[in-house]
């Protein structure tokens, strides 16, 4: 994938409701910018090995939500809408008027909210492993996750084993092996074992988000920029029938499933995933 950037060109913090949000920029501002939005429990450095697939053709902006990475980790209610507003603050800080936005998993929630609130600032929107409308099965999964979190650190490791069984496709697991997954799982457990409240707060933020969807539906439908929905074909976390409903919301949208991938297609098939993403951003059209 080429040489991996070791340090961002710029980095800093913006303030969101009295808390610090860490951001990074790769590039000098003379190219179009894409923001890659973290999934749950990710941090900006998780993208570094993949950046050569996007940069330097596009500048890249990364940031950590509250409760993740180098941003503040308050134990208080979080808002997905405000996490999306943080991107607008970062873009203002960097003098970026419009950008491409790509959200995977939890980052898809944030991307949807950025599109709803700041659609005039979008070139394109890409969504993967996410949905919009409340789903009973997902709410059951969310409730189970919260039960594990609230059991405390002594049970958290068991939950991470369950999570890592669920999120990948068969081909990726066969390729890296169960032993290959273990360092990834262990890093996740280590990062959040003593910060479980962050996962609780990020997960709880989904409830008011879903509660407001019907009221906000006209605002989502008003997003007229090109939208690419790019799930993993074997996603068991967010089944494809849930993700496909996004096509009925956005008037200029395209479905492009990545074969032999689970919930994290960008990691399982990076060349294919980012190849499609770059082609989409170049064209600024779903007819790429």
For the stretch 83-95, pLDDT in tens is: 999 999 999 999 9
pTM: predicted TM-score of the whole model, two decimal places: 0.96
| Dist CA 216 CA 210 (whole Å) | 10
Contact 163, 252 (CB under 8 A): no
Q: What integer pLDDT is reported at residue 127 of this predicted model?
A: 99
The percent of residues in the chain predicted with pLDDT above 90, rounded, is 96
- 244: pLDDT confidence band, cut at 50, 70 and 90? very high
Cβ burial of 18 (10 Å; 0-12, 13-18, 19+) is: exposed
Q: What integer pLDDT is reported at residue 5 of this predicted model?
A: 57
Q: What integer pLDDT is reported at residue 165 of this predicted model?
A: 87
Within a 10 A sphere around the Cβ of 155, how many other Cβ atoms? 13
- What's the token pair of residue 196? 């479980």
What confidence tens digit (pLDDT) does each residue in 252-286 have?
A: 999 999 999 999 999 999 999 999 999 999 999 99
User: Residue ranges of the domains in the chain?
Assistant: 10-134+208-283
- 3: pLDDT confidence band, cut at 50, 70 and 90? low
What confidence tens digit (pLDDT) does each residue in 208-234 have?
A: 999 999 999 999 999 999 999 999 999
Q: Domain 10-134+208-283, what architecture?
A: 3-Layer(aba) Sandwich (3.40)
Once rounded to an integer, what is the mean pLDDT over residues 170-198? Answer: 95
- Contacts of 105-109 with C-beta under 8 Å, sequence gap 24+, read 105/39, 105/40, 105/129, 105/130, 105/237, 105/238, 105/263, 105/264, 106/38, 106/39, 106/40, 106/130, 106/202, 107/36, 107/37, 107/38, 107/39, 107/42, 108/37, 109/80, 109/206, 109/209
Contact 87, 97 (CB under 8 A): no
Nearest to 23 by CA among 40, 9, 5: 9
For 275, phi then psi, to 5°, come to: -60, -45
- 239: pLDDT confidence band, cut at 50, 70 and 90? very high
């Amino acid at each position: 994938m080429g040489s991996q950037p070791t340090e961002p060109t710029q980095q800093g913090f913006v303030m969101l409701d009295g808390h610090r949000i860490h951001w990074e920029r790769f590039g000098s501002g003379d190219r179009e910018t894409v923001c890659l939005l973290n999934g749950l429990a990710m941090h900006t450095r998780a993208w570094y090995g993949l950046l050569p697939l996007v940069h330097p053709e596009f500048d890249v902006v990364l940031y950590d939500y509250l409760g993740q990475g180098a941003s503040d980790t308050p134990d208080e209610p979080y808002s997905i809408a405000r996490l999306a507003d943080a991107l607008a603050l970062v873009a203002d800080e960097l003098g970026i008027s419009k950008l491409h936005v790509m959200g995977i998993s939890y980052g898809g929630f944030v991307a949807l909210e950025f599109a709803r609130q700041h659609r005039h600032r979008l070139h394109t929107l890409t969504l993967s492993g996410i949905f919009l409308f409340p789903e009973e099965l997902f709410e059951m999964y969310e409730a189970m996750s919260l039960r594990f979190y609230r059991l405390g650190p002594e049970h958290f490791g068991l939950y991470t084993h369950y999570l890592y069984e669920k999120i990948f496709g068969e081909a990726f697991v066969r390729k890296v092996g169960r032993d290959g997954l273990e360092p990834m799982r262990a890093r996740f457990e280590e990062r959040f074992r003593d910060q479980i409240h962050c996962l609780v707060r990020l997960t709880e933020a989904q409830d008011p988000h879903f509660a407001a969807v019907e009221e906000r539906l006209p605002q989502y439908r008003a997003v007229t920029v090109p939208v690419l929905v790019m799930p993993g074909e074997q996603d068991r976390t967010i089944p494809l029938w849930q993700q496909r409903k996004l096509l009925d919301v956005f008037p200029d949208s395209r479905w492009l499933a990545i074969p032999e991938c689970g919930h994290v297609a960008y990691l399982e098939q990076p060349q294919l995933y980012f190849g499609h993403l770059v082609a989409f951003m170049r064209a600024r059209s779903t007819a790429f």
